[in-house]
Structure 1
Amino acid sequence: MAKLSKKQKVLAEKVDADKLYGFEEALALLKDLASKKFDETVEVAMNLGVDPRHADQMVRGMVSLPSGTGKTVKVAVFAKDAKAQEALDAGADKVGAEDLMEDMQAGNLDYDRVIASPDMMGVVGRLGKLLGPKGLMPNPKLGTVTPNVAQAVKDAKGGQVEFRVEKQGIIHSGIGKLSFKDEDLKANFKALTDAVVKAKPSGAKGKYVRKISLTSTMGPGIKIDMTEVEGA
Protein backbone atom coordinates (compact mmCIF):
# COMPACT_ATOMS: atom_id res chain seq x y z
CA MET A 1 0.00 0.00 0.00
CA ALA A 2 1.42 3.38 -1.05
CA LYS A 3 2.30 5.76 1.76
CA LEU A 4 0.33 8.99 2.03
CA SER A 5 2.22 12.24 1.63
CA LYS A 6 2.27 14.67 4.55
CA LYS A 7 -0.37 16.84 2.90
CA GLN A 8 -2.57 13.85 2.05
CA LYS A 9 -2.47 12.80 5.71
CA VAL A 10 -3.54 16.28 6.79
CA LEU A 11 -6.41 16.23 4.29
CA ALA A 12 -7.50 12.78 5.39
CA GLU A 13 -7.59 13.94 8.99
CA LYS A 14 -9.44 17.21 8.37
CA VAL A 15 -11.88 16.37 5.54
CA ASP A 16 -14.61 13.79 6.09
CA ALA A 17 -15.25 12.24 2.66
CA ASP A 18 -18.72 11.08 3.74
CA LYS A 19 -19.89 14.33 5.29
CA LEU A 20 -22.01 17.01 3.61
CA TYR A 21 -20.61 20.39 4.63
CA GLY A 22 -22.26 23.78 4.82
CA PHE A 23 -20.69 26.34 2.47
CA GLU A 24 -19.03 28.39 5.22
CA GLU A 25 -17.58 25.30 6.90
CA ALA A 26 -16.23 23.97 3.60
CA LEU A 27 -14.70 27.33 2.76
CA ALA A 28 -13.06 27.60 6.17
CA LEU A 29 -11.48 24.18 5.61
CA LEU A 30 -10.15 25.17 2.20
CA LYS A 31 -8.64 28.34 3.62
CA ASP A 32 -7.08 26.40 6.48
CA LEU A 33 -5.48 23.93 4.07
CA ALA A 34 -4.52 26.48 1.41
CA SER A 35 -1.09 26.95 -0.09
CA LYS A 36 0.69 30.06 1.13
CA LYS A 37 2.58 30.44 -2.14
CA PHE A 38 -0.24 31.87 -4.29
CA ASP A 39 -3.88 32.93 -4.16
CA GLU A 40 -5.82 29.81 -5.11
CA THR A 41 -9.02 29.87 -7.15
CA VAL A 42 -12.17 28.57 -5.48
CA GLU A 43 -14.03 26.21 -7.79
CA VAL A 44 -17.47 24.60 -7.81
CA ALA A 45 -18.33 21.27 -9.43
CA MET A 46 -21.99 20.43 -10.00
CA ASN A 47 -22.98 16.89 -11.04
CA LEU A 48 -26.21 17.11 -13.03
CA GLY A 49 -28.73 14.48 -14.06
CA VAL A 50 -28.36 15.19 -17.77
CA ASP A 51 -26.79 13.60 -20.83
CA PRO A 52 -25.37 16.50 -22.88
CA ARG A 53 -25.12 14.26 -25.95
CA HIS A 54 -28.83 15.03 -26.36
CA ALA A 55 -29.64 18.58 -27.48
CA ASP A 56 -32.60 18.85 -25.07
CA GLN A 57 -30.33 18.07 -22.11
CA MET A 58 -27.56 20.60 -22.81
CA VAL A 59 -26.93 23.07 -19.99
CA ARG A 60 -25.14 26.27 -20.94
CA GLY A 61 -25.39 29.91 -20.01
CA MET A 62 -23.82 33.06 -18.65
CA VAL A 63 -23.93 34.43 -15.12
CA SER A 64 -22.56 37.62 -13.62
CA LEU A 65 -20.74 36.92 -10.36
CA PRO A 66 -21.54 39.89 -8.09
CA SER A 67 -18.11 39.86 -6.46
CA GLY A 68 -16.14 39.31 -9.68
CA THR A 69 -13.73 36.48 -10.42
CA GLY A 70 -10.41 37.90 -9.29
CA LYS A 71 -9.01 37.11 -12.73
CA THR A 72 -7.89 39.36 -15.56
CA VAL A 73 -10.13 38.52 -18.51
CA LYS A 74 -8.71 39.01 -21.99
CA VAL A 75 -11.36 39.98 -24.54
CA ALA A 76 -11.25 40.16 -28.34
CA VAL A 77 -14.00 41.91 -30.30
CA PHE A 78 -14.95 41.67 -33.96
CA ALA A 79 -16.33 45.08 -34.90
CA LYS A 80 -15.84 47.96 -37.32
CA ASP A 81 -15.99 51.73 -37.26
CA ALA A 82 -18.04 53.20 -34.36
CA LYS A 83 -18.64 49.77 -32.79
CA ALA A 84 -14.90 49.10 -32.82
CA GLN A 85 -14.25 52.35 -30.96
CA GLU A 86 -17.00 51.55 -28.44
CA ALA A 87 -15.36 48.19 -27.73
CA LEU A 88 -11.95 49.80 -27.26
CA ASP A 89 -13.40 52.45 -24.95
CA ALA A 90 -15.03 49.68 -22.89
CA GLY A 91 -11.65 48.01 -22.35
CA ALA A 92 -11.40 45.34 -25.06
CA ASP A 93 -7.87 43.97 -25.42
CA LYS A 94 -8.04 43.49 -29.18
CA VAL A 95 -10.52 44.82 -31.74
CA GLY A 96 -10.61 44.18 -35.46
CA ALA A 97 -12.29 42.58 -38.44
CA GLU A 98 -10.52 40.64 -41.20
CA ASP A 99 -7.19 41.58 -39.62
CA LEU A 100 -8.25 40.02 -36.30
CA MET A 101 -9.45 36.92 -38.14
CA GLU A 102 -6.06 36.55 -39.83
CA ASP A 103 -4.29 37.08 -36.51
CA MET A 104 -6.31 34.25 -34.97
CA GLN A 105 -5.72 32.01 -37.96
CA ALA A 106 -2.00 32.57 -37.36
CA GLY A 107 -2.45 31.02 -33.92
CA ASN A 108 -3.01 34.04 -31.70
CA LEU A 109 -5.95 32.73 -29.66
CA ASP A 110 -4.97 33.74 -26.16
CA TYR A 111 -8.39 35.14 -25.20
CA ASP A 112 -10.94 34.32 -22.51
CA ARG A 113 -13.91 35.75 -24.42
CA VAL A 114 -14.58 36.57 -28.07
CA ILE A 115 -17.41 39.01 -28.86
CA ALA A 116 -18.81 40.06 -32.24
CA SER A 117 -21.25 42.60 -33.59
CA PRO A 118 -23.92 40.85 -35.75
CA ASP A 119 -22.57 42.28 -39.03
CA MET A 120 -19.22 40.57 -38.40
CA MET A 121 -20.50 36.99 -38.21
CA GLY A 122 -19.62 36.37 -41.86
CA VAL A 123 -15.98 36.89 -40.89
CA VAL A 124 -16.22 35.13 -37.54
CA GLY A 125 -17.92 32.10 -39.12
CA ARG A 126 -14.68 31.28 -40.93
CA LEU A 127 -13.05 30.71 -37.54
CA GLY A 128 -15.52 28.08 -36.38
CA LYS A 129 -13.01 25.21 -36.38
CA LEU A 130 -10.56 27.28 -34.33
CA LEU A 131 -12.90 28.99 -31.87
CA GLY A 132 -15.48 26.23 -31.46
CA PRO A 133 -13.28 23.62 -29.75
CA LYS A 134 -12.00 26.30 -27.35
CA GLY A 135 -15.52 27.38 -26.41
CA LEU A 136 -14.81 30.85 -27.79
CA MET A 137 -17.23 31.00 -30.73
CA PRO A 138 -19.51 34.04 -30.33
CA ASN A 139 -23.11 33.02 -29.72
CA PRO A 140 -26.21 35.26 -29.63
CA LYS A 141 -27.81 33.06 -26.93
CA LEU A 142 -24.86 33.83 -24.65
CA GLY A 143 -24.84 37.54 -25.46
CA THR A 144 -21.49 37.38 -27.24
CA VAL A 145 -23.06 38.26 -30.59
CA THR A 146 -24.64 41.63 -29.91
CA PRO A 147 -24.91 45.16 -31.30
CA ASN A 148 -24.03 46.40 -27.80
CA VAL A 149 -20.40 45.28 -27.86
CA ALA A 150 -19.40 47.82 -25.21
CA GLN A 151 -21.74 46.31 -22.61
CA ALA A 152 -20.63 42.79 -23.53
CA VAL A 153 -17.00 43.80 -22.92
CA LYS A 154 -17.88 45.42 -19.58
CA ASP A 155 -19.80 42.29 -18.53
CA ALA A 156 -16.88 40.02 -19.44
CA LYS A 157 -14.39 42.21 -17.59
CA GLY A 158 -16.70 42.69 -14.62
CA GLY A 159 -17.22 39.10 -13.51
CA GLN A 160 -19.51 37.44 -16.03
CA VAL A 161 -18.63 33.77 -16.56
CA GLU A 162 -19.90 31.08 -18.88
CA PHE A 163 -20.96 27.69 -17.57
CA ARG A 164 -21.32 24.62 -19.76
CA VAL A 165 -21.98 21.01 -18.87
CA GLU A 166 -19.23 18.56 -19.84
CA LYS A 167 -19.69 15.10 -21.36
CA GLN A 168 -19.89 13.49 -17.92
CA GLY A 169 -22.76 15.76 -16.89
CA ILE A 170 -20.58 18.02 -14.71
CA ILE A 171 -20.27 21.80 -14.64
CA HIS A 172 -17.00 23.28 -13.36
CA SER A 173 -16.67 26.98 -12.65
CA GLY A 174 -14.43 29.26 -10.63
CA ILE A 175 -16.20 31.63 -8.23
CA GLY A 176 -13.30 33.78 -7.05
CA LYS A 177 -10.09 33.62 -5.04
CA LEU A 178 -9.47 32.29 -1.54
CA SER A 179 -8.44 35.82 -0.53
CA PHE A 180 -12.02 37.03 -1.18
CA LYS A 181 -14.23 37.72 1.83
CA ASP A 182 -16.40 34.73 2.77
CA GLU A 183 -19.60 36.66 2.07
CA ASP A 184 -18.35 37.59 -1.43
CA LEU A 185 -17.56 33.97 -2.28
CA LYS A 186 -20.95 32.88 -0.94
CA ALA A 187 -22.69 35.52 -3.09
CA ASN A 188 -20.84 34.22 -6.15
CA PHE A 189 -21.68 30.61 -5.23
CA LYS A 190 -25.36 31.49 -4.94
CA ALA A 191 -25.35 33.38 -8.26
CA LEU A 192 -23.76 30.42 -10.07
CA THR A 193 -25.93 27.70 -8.55
CA ASP A 194 -29.11 29.75 -9.04
CA ALA A 195 -28.23 30.24 -12.72
CA VAL A 196 -27.55 26.53 -13.26
CA VAL A 197 -30.81 25.56 -11.56
CA LYS A 198 -32.74 28.07 -13.73
CA ALA A 199 -31.03 26.63 -16.83
CA LYS A 200 -32.55 23.17 -16.25
CA PRO A 201 -33.25 21.79 -19.73
CA SER A 202 -36.60 20.37 -20.84
CA GLY A 203 -35.10 16.92 -21.38
CA ALA A 204 -33.69 16.51 -17.85
CA LYS A 205 -35.25 13.49 -16.11
CA GLY A 206 -35.28 12.67 -12.40
CA LYS A 207 -33.14 14.63 -9.95
CA TYR A 208 -31.41 17.51 -11.73
CA VAL A 209 -28.65 18.61 -9.31
CA ARG A 210 -27.19 15.41 -7.88
CA LYS A 211 -24.01 16.52 -6.13
CA ILE A 212 -22.08 19.72 -5.48
CA SER A 213 -18.51 20.00 -4.28
CA LEU A 214 -16.24 22.89 -3.43
CA THR A 215 -12.51 22.86 -4.00
CA SER A 216 -9.53 25.14 -4.57
CA THR A 217 -6.64 24.94 -7.01
CA MET A 218 -4.52 22.75 -4.73
CA GLY A 219 -7.18 21.74 -2.22
CA PRO A 220 -9.41 18.71 -1.68
CA GLY A 221 -12.94 18.32 -2.99
CA ILE A 222 -15.48 18.92 -0.22
CA LYS A 223 -19.08 17.79 -0.63
CA ILE A 224 -21.65 20.54 -0.08
CA ASP A 225 -25.01 20.02 1.62
CA MET A 226 -27.65 20.25 -1.13
CA THR A 227 -29.94 22.29 1.14
CA GLU A 228 -27.50 25.16 0.51
CA VAL A 229 -28.84 25.43 -3.05
CA GLU A 230 -32.34 26.71 -3.74
CA GLY A 231 -34.34 24.60 -6.15
CA ALA A 232 -31.81 21.76 -6.22
Structure 2
Amino acid sequence: MAKLGKRTRAAREAFAGKNDVTVEEAVAMIKANASAKFDETVEIAMNLGVDPRHADQMVRGVIGLPNGTGKTVRVAVFARGPKAEEAQAAGADIVGAEDLMESIQGGTIDFDRCIATPDMMPVVGRLGKILGPRNLMPNPKVGTVTMDVAEAVKNAKGGEVQFKAEKAGVVHAGVGKASFNEAQLVENVRAFIGAVAKARPSGAKGTYLKKICLSSTMGPGVSVDVANASGE
Protein backbone atom coordinates (compact mmCIF):
# COMPACT_ATOMS: atom_id res chain seq x y z
CA MET A 1 0.00 0.00 0.00
CA ALA A 2 1.39 3.40 -0.97
CA LYS A 3 2.44 5.71 1.87
CA LEU A 4 0.31 8.80 2.33
CA GLY A 5 1.99 12.18 1.90
CA LYS A 6 2.21 14.62 4.81
CA ARG A 7 -0.52 16.86 3.40
CA THR A 8 -2.90 13.95 2.85
CA ARG A 9 -2.28 12.56 6.34
CA ALA A 10 -2.82 15.97 7.91
CA ALA A 11 -6.06 16.51 5.98
CA ARG A 12 -7.41 13.10 6.91
CA GLU A 13 -6.59 13.70 10.55
CA ALA A 14 -8.35 17.08 10.40
CA PHE A 15 -11.45 15.47 8.88
CA ALA A 16 -11.49 12.42 11.18
CA GLY A 17 -14.77 11.96 13.03
CA LYS A 18 -16.42 14.88 11.27
CA ASN A 19 -19.38 13.61 9.27
CA ASP A 20 -22.69 15.14 8.17
CA VAL A 21 -21.49 18.67 8.86
CA THR A 22 -23.11 21.85 7.54
CA VAL A 23 -22.16 23.19 4.11
CA GLU A 24 -20.41 26.10 5.84
CA GLU A 25 -18.33 23.76 8.02
CA ALA A 26 -17.44 21.53 5.07
CA VAL A 27 -16.31 24.49 2.97
CA ALA A 28 -14.18 25.87 5.83
CA MET A 29 -12.51 22.47 6.35
CA ILE A 30 -11.78 22.02 2.66
CA LYS A 31 -10.34 25.52 2.24
CA ALA A 32 -8.14 25.09 5.30
CA ASN A 33 -6.70 21.84 3.97
CA ALA A 34 -6.37 22.66 0.24
CA SER A 35 -2.60 23.06 0.29
CA ALA A 36 -1.54 21.85 -3.16
CA LYS A 37 0.74 24.07 -5.25
CA PHE A 38 -2.14 24.83 -7.63
CA ASP A 39 -5.61 26.29 -7.11
CA GLU A 40 -7.58 23.14 -6.30
CA THR A 41 -11.12 22.65 -7.57
CA VAL A 42 -13.83 22.19 -4.95
CA GLU A 43 -15.83 19.16 -6.04
CA ILE A 44 -19.23 17.84 -5.06
CA ALA A 45 -20.50 14.26 -5.33
CA MET A 46 -24.16 13.43 -4.71
CA ASN A 47 -25.50 9.89 -4.31
CA LEU A 48 -29.09 9.82 -5.54
CA GLY A 49 -31.83 7.25 -5.04
CA VAL A 50 -32.26 6.63 -8.77
CA ASP A 51 -31.33 4.03 -11.36
CA PRO A 52 -30.51 6.08 -14.48
CA ARG A 53 -30.77 2.96 -16.65
CA HIS A 54 -34.53 3.63 -16.51
CA ALA A 55 -35.65 6.59 -18.61
CA ASP A 56 -38.02 7.88 -15.90
CA GLN A 57 -35.16 7.96 -13.36
CA MET A 58 -32.61 9.88 -15.41
CA VAL A 59 -31.32 13.04 -13.73
CA ARG A 60 -29.90 15.68 -16.00
CA GLY A 61 -29.78 19.45 -15.98
CA VAL A 62 -27.77 22.63 -15.98
CA ILE A 63 -27.14 25.37 -13.43
CA GLY A 64 -25.43 28.72 -13.74
CA LEU A 65 -23.38 28.96 -10.54
CA PRO A 66 -23.78 32.41 -8.92
CA ASN A 67 -20.02 32.86 -8.59
CA GLY A 68 -18.85 30.87 -11.62
CA THR A 69 -16.53 27.88 -11.54
CA GLY A 70 -13.17 29.63 -11.68
CA LYS A 71 -12.32 27.41 -14.64
CA THR A 72 -11.45 28.58 -18.13
CA VAL A 73 -13.88 26.71 -20.37
CA ARG A 74 -13.01 25.99 -23.99
CA VAL A 75 -16.12 25.91 -26.18
CA ALA A 76 -16.59 24.24 -29.57
CA VAL A 77 -19.56 25.18 -31.76
CA PHE A 78 -20.98 23.32 -34.75
CA ALA A 79 -22.51 25.98 -36.99
CA ARG A 80 -22.44 27.41 -40.49
CA GLY A 81 -22.70 30.88 -42.02
CA PRO A 82 -24.07 33.70 -39.86
CA LYS A 83 -24.45 31.39 -36.84
CA ALA A 84 -20.78 30.44 -37.08
CA GLU A 85 -19.92 34.15 -37.15
CA GLU A 86 -22.14 34.74 -34.09
CA ALA A 87 -20.36 31.97 -32.21
CA GLN A 88 -16.95 33.39 -33.04
CA ALA A 89 -18.02 36.89 -32.01
CA ALA A 90 -19.32 35.50 -28.69
CA GLY A 91 -15.92 34.01 -27.89
CA ALA A 92 -16.18 30.38 -29.02
CA ASP A 93 -12.74 28.77 -29.14
CA ILE A 94 -13.48 26.41 -32.05
CA VAL A 95 -16.15 26.80 -34.73
CA GLY A 96 -16.74 24.45 -37.64
CA ALA A 97 -18.93 21.91 -39.41
CA GLU A 98 -17.74 18.82 -41.27
CA ASP A 99 -14.15 19.94 -40.74
CA LEU A 100 -14.69 19.98 -36.95
CA MET A 101 -16.35 16.57 -37.12
CA GLU A 102 -13.35 15.13 -38.97
CA SER A 103 -10.96 16.68 -36.47
CA ILE A 104 -12.82 15.05 -33.57
CA GLN A 105 -12.95 11.72 -35.40
CA GLY A 106 -9.18 12.02 -35.76
CA GLY A 107 -8.81 12.23 -31.99
CA THR A 108 -8.56 15.99 -31.42
CA ILE A 109 -10.93 16.99 -28.61
CA ASP A 110 -9.58 20.30 -27.38
CA PHE A 111 -12.72 21.65 -25.70
CA ASP A 112 -14.82 21.33 -22.54
CA ARG A 113 -18.26 22.13 -23.94
CA CYS A 114 -19.84 21.43 -27.32
CA ILE A 115 -22.72 23.47 -28.75
CA ALA A 116 -24.58 22.97 -32.03
CA THR A 117 -27.33 24.58 -34.05
CA PRO A 118 -30.23 22.16 -34.70
CA ASP A 119 -29.42 21.85 -38.43
CA MET A 120 -25.94 20.55 -37.54
CA MET A 121 -27.16 17.60 -35.49
CA PRO A 122 -27.04 15.11 -38.41
CA VAL A 123 -23.30 15.85 -38.57
CA VAL A 124 -22.80 15.88 -34.81
CA GLY A 125 -24.80 12.66 -34.49
CA ARG A 126 -21.98 10.76 -36.15
CA LEU A 127 -19.83 11.60 -33.15
CA GLY A 128 -22.14 10.05 -30.56
CA LYS A 129 -19.75 7.23 -29.62
CA ILE A 130 -16.92 9.72 -29.12
CA LEU A 131 -18.69 12.66 -27.44
CA GLY A 132 -21.33 10.69 -25.53
CA PRO A 133 -19.02 8.90 -23.06
CA ARG A 134 -17.26 12.21 -22.38
CA ASN A 135 -20.58 13.96 -21.62
CA LEU A 136 -19.87 16.39 -24.49
CA MET A 137 -22.77 15.53 -26.80
CA PRO A 138 -24.95 18.60 -27.48
CA ASN A 139 -28.43 18.21 -26.00
CA PRO A 140 -31.44 20.54 -26.22
CA LYS A 141 -32.39 19.71 -22.60
CA VAL A 142 -29.32 21.54 -21.31
CA GLY A 143 -29.35 24.31 -23.91
CA THR A 144 -26.45 23.12 -26.06
CA VAL A 145 -28.58 22.48 -29.15
CA THR A 146 -29.87 25.95 -29.93
CA MET A 147 -30.10 28.68 -32.53
CA ASP A 148 -28.99 31.21 -29.92
CA VAL A 149 -25.36 30.13 -30.06
CA ALA A 150 -24.10 33.46 -28.71
CA GLU A 151 -26.08 33.06 -25.48
CA ALA A 152 -25.02 29.41 -25.16
CA VAL A 153 -21.35 30.34 -25.54
CA LYS A 154 -21.75 33.15 -23.01
CA ASN A 155 -23.38 30.79 -20.49
CA ALA A 156 -20.71 28.12 -20.95
CA LYS A 157 -17.95 30.67 -20.44
CA GLY A 158 -19.70 32.31 -17.49
CA GLY A 159 -19.88 29.43 -15.02
CA GLU A 160 -22.69 27.21 -16.24
CA VAL A 161 -22.37 23.62 -15.02
CA GLN A 162 -24.06 20.60 -16.56
CA PHE A 163 -24.88 17.57 -14.45
CA LYS A 164 -25.94 14.03 -15.25
CA ALA A 165 -26.47 10.96 -13.07
CA GLU A 166 -23.99 8.18 -13.83
CA LYS A 167 -24.73 4.44 -13.71
CA ALA A 168 -24.60 4.21 -9.91
CA GLY A 169 -26.86 7.25 -9.52
CA VAL A 170 -23.99 9.61 -8.69
CA VAL A 171 -23.84 13.22 -9.84
CA HIS A 172 -20.54 15.07 -9.55
CA ALA A 173 -19.24 18.48 -10.58
CA GLY A 174 -16.74 21.20 -9.82
CA VAL A 175 -18.39 24.05 -7.92
CA GLY A 176 -15.55 26.54 -7.59
CA LYS A 177 -11.92 26.92 -6.62
CA ALA A 178 -10.21 26.75 -3.23
CA SER A 179 -9.18 30.40 -3.76
CA PHE A 180 -12.85 31.48 -3.66
CA ASN A 181 -13.94 32.93 -0.33
CA GLU A 182 -16.15 30.77 1.88
CA ALA A 183 -19.34 32.70 1.14
CA GLN A 184 -18.87 32.27 -2.62
CA LEU A 185 -18.30 28.53 -2.29
CA VAL A 186 -21.25 28.05 0.07
CA GLU A 187 -23.52 29.93 -2.35
CA ASN A 188 -22.32 27.81 -5.30
CA VAL A 189 -22.69 24.54 -3.39
CA ARG A 190 -26.22 25.35 -2.25
CA ALA A 191 -27.22 26.45 -5.76
CA PHE A 192 -25.93 23.19 -7.24
CA ILE A 193 -27.65 21.01 -4.63
CA GLY A 194 -30.87 22.95 -5.16
CA ALA A 195 -30.72 22.40 -8.93
CA VAL A 196 -30.20 18.65 -8.53
CA ALA A 197 -33.02 18.49 -5.97
CA LYS A 198 -35.39 20.23 -8.39
CA ALA A 199 -34.37 17.82 -11.16
CA ARG A 200 -35.87 14.87 -9.25
CA PRO A 201 -37.35 12.58 -11.92
CA SER A 202 -40.89 11.23 -11.83
CA GLY A 203 -39.66 7.64 -11.42
CA ALA A 204 -37.61 8.32 -8.27
CA LYS A 205 -38.99 6.42 -5.27
CA GLY A 206 -38.09 6.78 -1.61
CA THR A 207 -35.14 8.90 -0.52
CA TYR A 208 -33.83 10.95 -3.44
CA LEU A 209 -30.85 12.80 -1.91
CA LYS A 210 -28.96 10.02 -0.13
CA LYS A 211 -25.48 11.39 0.46
CA ILE A 212 -23.55 14.56 -0.35
CA CYS A 213 -19.79 14.81 -0.16
CA LEU A 214 -17.45 17.77 -0.74
CA SER A 215 -13.73 17.58 -1.42
CA SER A 216 -10.88 19.42 -3.08
CA THR A 217 -8.88 18.01 -5.99
CA MET A 218 -6.14 16.57 -3.78
CA GLY A 219 -7.97 16.32 -0.48
CA PRO A 220 -10.20 13.79 1.27
CA GLY A 221 -13.96 14.15 1.25
CA VAL A 222 -16.31 15.30 4.01
CA SER A 223 -19.98 14.36 4.10
CA VAL A 224 -22.58 17.10 4.36
CA ASP A 225 -25.83 16.98 6.33
CA VAL A 226 -28.38 16.30 3.58
CA ALA A 227 -31.36 17.61 5.55
CA ASN A 228 -30.39 21.29 5.28
CA ALA A 229 -27.82 21.18 2.49
CA SER A 230 -29.75 23.29 -0.02
CA GLY A 231 -30.49 25.98 2.56
CA GLU A 232 -34.13 26.15 1.54
TM-score (norm 2): 0.94
Q: How does 1:177-192 map to 2 (within 5 A)?
A: 177-192=177-192
Give the structure 2 partner of residue 11 of structure 1: 11
Aligned to 2:81: 81
CA distance in 2, matches of 1:156, 1:54: 28
Secondary structure of the structure 2 residue equivalent to 1:162? strand
Kept after mapping to 1: 8 A contact 2:75/2:94: yes
- Give me the whole-angstrom Cα distance separating, in 1, the residues matched to 2:45 and 2:36: 23
- The structural deviation recorded for 1:166 is 1.2
CA distance 1:17–1:163, shift in 2 (3 Å)? farther
Distance 1:170 1:56, change over 3 A: same
| Secondary structure of the corresponding residue to residue 27 of structure 2 | helix
| Corresponding position of 2:26 | 26
Is residue 40–residue 177 contact of structure 1 (8 Å, CA) maintained in 2? yes
Deviations 1:23-81 (A, max 9, x none): 12111111221224111100111111111111111111111111111111111101111
> Which residue does 1:149 correspond to in 2?
149
| Whole-angstrom distance in 2 between the partners of 1:7 and 1:122 | 50
Question: Unmatched 5+ residue regions in structure 1?
Answer: none
Aligned equivalents of 1:179 and 1:12: distance in 2?
20
- Within 2, Cα distance between the matches of 1:231 and 1:70? 23
Question: Counterparts of 1:1-232 in structure 2 under 5 Å?
Answer: 6-17=6-17, 19-230=19-230
SS of residue matched to 2:175: strand
Structure 2: how far apart are the matches of 1:106 and 1:3? Answer: 40
8 Å contact 1:34–1:219 — kept in the other structure? yes
Q: Deviations over 1:95-115 (max 9, x none)?
A: 111111111111111211110
Moved over 2 A (4+): 1-13, 16-19, 227-232
Tell me: CA distance 1:185–1:231, structure 2 relative to 1, closer, same or farther (3 Å). Answer: closer
| Cα distance change on mapping 1:97 and 1:26 into 2, 3 Å | same
CA RMSD of aligned residues (A): 1.9
Q: What displacement does 1:6 show?
A: 3.7
Amino acid at match of 1:107: G
Tell me the secondary structure at the aligned position of residue 210 of structure 1: strand
- C-alpha separation between the residues in 2 aligned to 1:90 and 1:162? 20
In structure 1, C-alpha distance between the alignment counterparts of 2:109 and 2:12, rounded to whole Å: 40
Number of matched residues?
A: 232
Work out whether residues 44 and 214 of structure 1, in 8 Å CA contact, stay in contact via their aligned partners in 2.
yes
**In 1, distance between residues paired with 2:2 and 2:96?**
55
SS at match of 1:130: helix
Identity fraction in percent: 61
Distance 1:159 1:41, change over 3 A: same
- Whether contact under 8 Å (2:8, 2:220) holds in the other structure is no
Deviation at 1:197, TM superposition (A): 0.4
Please list every run of 5 or more consecutive structure 2 residues that lacks an aligned counterpart in the other structure: none
Q: Distance in 1 between matches of 2:111 and 2:3?
A: 41
CA contact (8 A) 1:17 1:222 kept: no
Q: Is the 8 A contact 2:30 2:216 kept in 1?
A: yes
